[in-house]
Structure 1
Amino acid sequence: MKNLAIITISFLLVQCEPVIPQQSSTNKKIIFDNYDYEDFVGITKVVPVENGQIKAIENQVVSLNDNGQLLLTFDLLTDQFENLSAKIYHCNKDWTKSRLRDMEFLSQINNYRITDFDYSVNTVQPYINYRFTIPKPILSGNYIVAVFRRANPDDVILTRRFLVVDSKTTINHKVRVSTTIAKREENHQIEFSLNYGNLQVNAPAQDISPVILQNHNWSTANASIPPTLMRVNEGYLEYRHLDLKTNFYGWNEFRFADLRTLNVSGRNVGKIVNTGTKIIAPLKLDGSRQNTTYTQNFQDINGNFIIQNNDPGESTLNADYADVTFALKSDPIDGDVYVLGRYNNWQMTDLNKMKYTNQNGLGRYQTTIPLKQGYYEYLYYVESNELPPHYFEGSHFQAENVYEILVYYRKPGNINDELVGYKRFRSIEN
């Protein structure tokens, strides 16, 4: 709860433009992806809200036909108020902007002021947390929510993807070992079938397009899956490929860092140093797991993250930011190494790219990333022409991952892709 003085100041700031120059870079082209356009954007998340309860580790998916909502929450690492607005874009199944007009997928004017915000309290890194309940579109499909400064379409700050589902299909799935013998120990093979009922379908292989996601990672989405069996008179399609077409690396259970307290070192955190102007939190030195036997030491959350503050105050507004150093012991390899997780949308950027260094004769890859107090899962990803992406992690069929099957449908004569099917499941069901 803000005190009266803060409320008064905030009200005045909302009513007029800030007199302090803001960080800005105009004429920024919108990327229809999860993307931050300025360095001072902190931790950002879109989370479902059901009956007033935030589902912190659920995916950015909402049903068209229930009361569920999606909440966009993000930090700007500054103490200067920003006059922000949001806009929603409808996208095709391949995340290109659709040709629909705003009035065809929204029941409101597509320009929303973001007025729900709070300043951080007693943090070394000042920030302002903004919250925006995303208006639910009236059509299913892929969407982008974009945040702009001063409602300027050329001054975008961040974009995030979300999905709206109108379930009109029934999906049955199976996770099995790969039918390619050489991959049986390291891959998951996803097989599924769907009934599309009374949908108007002229050419099933073209009108209906399934997509498979692993751990909600769009960079490894499988979107080129032809049916292996069609029974058009029954409205039935089957996808049971005997090659690698629906195979995914099983990877390993995720590594994790417990940063819920910044007063003492949490699990896998080497130490905590508060200089008064910043908090430094190097993690313990990681090693390669490429030749280790698979063991499930704990139930992970499949690369996700949770913002949580266990220090005095216990409010998310008391949660601070720390410069977190990830370090991986290794000889240099022929390729690039990245640290990835849901916290950075699985994206291979310069910030997440690790540099090789030799400290006191100990070779390692490392990088430093600012993270808000919480619990984070991550893995080391290799981009190489010679080595597999799981070179440092290993890949095991026994590893547990979360998969999603999305079913897109374009009605003959329409210009938009509907999302008519959605199923989320684990590779190992309890």
Structure 2
Amino acid sequence: MIKYFSLLSLLLYLSGEMYAQRTEVYAPHIQTVQVIANDNYLAPPIITLGRGENIEISFDELSHEYHRYQYVISHCNIDWTPSDLSELDYLDGFNNNPIDDYETSINTTMPYTHYKFRLPNNQVRMTLSGNYTVTVYDDSDSDTPIFKTCFRVLEQHVGISAVVSSDTEIDRNKSHQQVSFNIQHKGYVIRNPQQEIKIQVMQNGRVDNMVSNISPTYVGPDELRYTHNRALIFPAGNEYRRFEIVSTRFTNLGVESLQFHDPYYHATLFTSEPRIRNYTYDEDQNGHFLVRYDDATDNDIEADYFFVHFTLPWDKPFQGGNLYLEGEFTYDTFNQQSEMKYNEETSSYESVQLLKQGAYNYLYLYVPDGSTKGETGPVEGNFYETENEYLILVYSRPFGERYDKLIGMKLVRYRP
């Protein structure tokens, strides 16, 4: 145990910053936190109130030792600060419940215990729409969380029609995409749209370049329009890079070599190349990952862990910014763990990630100093043909209300 935990301590970084909208992992022995709505790993973690839908939260603890974990549910405002509600307002049942569904891994070089639970369940259910965080603690140290994650609950009151175009306010069919949408709210009273309605728009689930605080360009009796808005223009980026580590015997997509350095597996990916010159179509999953092992009957407990090696040749390190890996497996967080480190000897950016077997998507994002927004342009390029998905969220807080209701959601995909 001591040997691999000391190795993990070098590889894993616990960020001191709080990113309330992202999954935040605070313990190096916690891996592969997933939040999946209705068993669809490609869908955003959003469920509809009162329709029998569910969120499954799962994670691995890197040992076979039993831990009594507890979870606490909290309701949040649109900005993920705690809402001005008591638990009695938004929960039916008990908070601070144990996680009783767990299994130890079978025949893996990296021993782990897989924990999971679903919401709502027999102990607790959510009664209001909006943003929710789930904080997980070890019962032996209830003052220190091991991770926090988030999901949303929807009560559909409005309809949304949306379109994504490569013909934008700043260029035509070059490097950007523009989102336009209308909100139809017949039967749902909105007296002051500027004050009551709040919008969020995300590209491929990314938080760093999310657009919010936008005003409608047209206000009608039963409709709000958000068109020709420069704030809704996104750099188009490029298709996600992909690799698969689904076998312990054979290399798969994107993997140059598999090696076993006792006691763990290592996968070296093919050397990455900059993609700023030309767009190349690929059937990606817009940043998501899927846990999978070809020889498993139960991926949750039979998939092993690999140390995955990334390499991007680059003449000299960036000045005035850093390079990061981005994908669902990084929890959309720019920290020391997701940062690509420059190796002067090889003239390359390099990173090693501990990942559970499966199929993965990733990008290289450049983040200028002082910014929290990643840029695709320097390494991946920006091409209008890129197939992206955009999530539109509509929140409402009428005058006198104490929380932000999530009243509309639309997932729209751009296909040239």
TM-score by length of 2: 0.90
1:378 to 336, 358, 362: 362
- Measure, in 2, the Cα distance between the counterparts of 1:100 and 1:373: 41
Residue 288 of structure 2 contacts residue 327 of structure 2 at CA under 8 Å; is this kept in 1?
A: yes
User: 2:5 — aligned with what?
Assistant: none
Deviates more, 1:143-152 or 1:333-342: 143-152
- Matching residue of 1:5: none
Call closer, same or farther: CA 1:147–1:199 in 2, change over 3 Å: same
Amino acid at match of 2:60: D
Q: What letter matches 1:352 in structure 2?
A: S
Map 1:171-320 → 2, pairs under 5 A: 171-182=160-171, 184-231=173-220, 234-242=221-229, 244-291=230-277, 293-296=278-281, 298-311=282-295, 315-320=299-304
Quote the offset at 1:315 in angstroms: 3.8
Comparing 159-168 with 200-209, greater Cα deviation is found at 200-209
SS of 1:75 mapped into structure 2: strand
1:87-106 alignment, distance < 5 Å: 87-106=72-91
CA apart distance, 1:260: 1.0
Equivalent position amino acid for 1:192 in 2: F
Deviation at 1:183, TM superposition (A): 6.5
Partner AA of 2:279 in structure 1: Y
CA contact (8 A) 1:178 1:247 kept: no
Report the Cα distance in structure 1 between the residues aligned to 2:234 and 2:142, rounded to whole angstroms: 38
Residue of structure 1 in register with 2:397 after alignment: 410
The alignment covers a number of residue pairs equal to 392
In the alignment, is the contact (CA less than 8 A) between 1:309 and 1:316 conserved in 2? Answer: no
What are the ranges of 5 or more consecutive residues in structure 1 without an aligned counterpart? 1-22
Counterpart for residue 146 of structure 2 = 157
Give per-residue Cα distances to partners, 1:217-261, cap 9 Å, x unaligned: 122211121111111xx221111135x210111111110111111
Q: Any gaps of 5 or more consecutive residues in structure 2?
A: 1-8, 10-15
TM (normalized to structure 1)? 0.87
For residues 61 and 278 of structure 1, do their structure 2 counterparts lie closer, same or farther at Cα, with a shift above 3 Å needed?
Answer: same
Report whether the alignment pairs 1:73 with 2:58.
Answer: yes
Alignment check: 8 A CA contact 1:87 1:112 kept: yes
CA distance in 1, matches of 2:35, 2:263: 30
Tell me which stretches of 4 or more aligned residues in structure 1 moved more than 6 Å.
Answer: none
Cα displacement string for residues 64-106 of structure 1 (whole angstroms, at most 9, x for unaligned residues): 1311111001101122111101111100011111111001001
Distance in 1 between the 2:377 and 2:70 partners? Answer: 40
Residue aligning to 1:13:
none
Percent of aligned positions that are identical: 28
Q: Distance in 1 between matches of 2:283 and 2:210?
A: 24
Aligned-pair distance for 1:154?
1.8
CA separation in 2, counterparts of 1:210 and 1:358?
Answer: 44
Contact kept in structure 2, 1:122 and 1:318, CA below 8 Å: yes
8 Å CA contact 2:114, 2:300 repeated in 1: no
Report the CA distance between 1:197 and its aligned residue.
2.3
Query: How has the CA–CA distance of structure 1 residues 294 and 389 changed in structure 2, closer, same or farther, with 3 Å as cutoff?
Result: closer
Paired with 1:402 and 1:206, the residues of 2 have a C-alpha distance of 28
Residue 4 of structure 2 aligns with which residue? none
